[in-house]
Amino acid sequence: MAEARTTDRIELSPASCFSLLALVLLGTRFVQGFIFWGGASRRLFYDFQDVAGADLAVKLDFESLHFVAAKLTHALPGSLWIQGPLEWTLQHPDLILASVWVWTMAELAVGLGLIFGLATRLAAFVTIGLNIALMLIFGWMGSTCLDEWT
């Protein structure tokens, strides 16, 4: 009679579950880090154009047609619950310019923090806040809101 060969099943221990969870979180951390680093770098490094004989990052230049905050005017009708504050911010050019720069630096900092593992918990909480803010501002765009912002 032929013997049936049995295979041993590997029991999932808490340690192996935590190891798997750590790998999943590492991948998520890298993806989020590159998303935010990419958004900031597209505004800071990759979109220079010749303006009056000088290369300028046009997405951060208030006088440029490519100024990133111009997208906020397109998002205003579909924003969720924050149309009033968003409209007020758009009426104050100095405030909107400062906000765009602070937002860009925050994206750069949390992106690099997540990629290199620096202050990852703080960076993760800040990315949650940035994501929620983007969803409130660009709520009508769905999953394209982050790409649309950058």
| Ranges of each domain in the chain | 33-149
Q: What is the pLDDT of residues 91-113, one digit of tens each?
A: 999 999 999 999 999 999 999 99
Q: Which residues pair with 51 in a beta bridge?
A: 54
Helix (H, G, I), strand (E, B) or coil at 49: strand
**E strand or H helix that includes residue 55:** strand 54-57
The answer, yes or no, to whether residue 55 has pLDDT greater than 60, is: yes
Instruction: Identify how many contiguous H helices and E strands the chain contains and give both numbers.
Output: 6, 2
Cα–Cα dist 8/95, whole Å = 65
Q: What is the pLDDT of residues 33-53, one digit of tens each?
A: 999 999 899 888 877 777 677
**Residues 147, 68: contact at Cβ < 8 Å?**
no
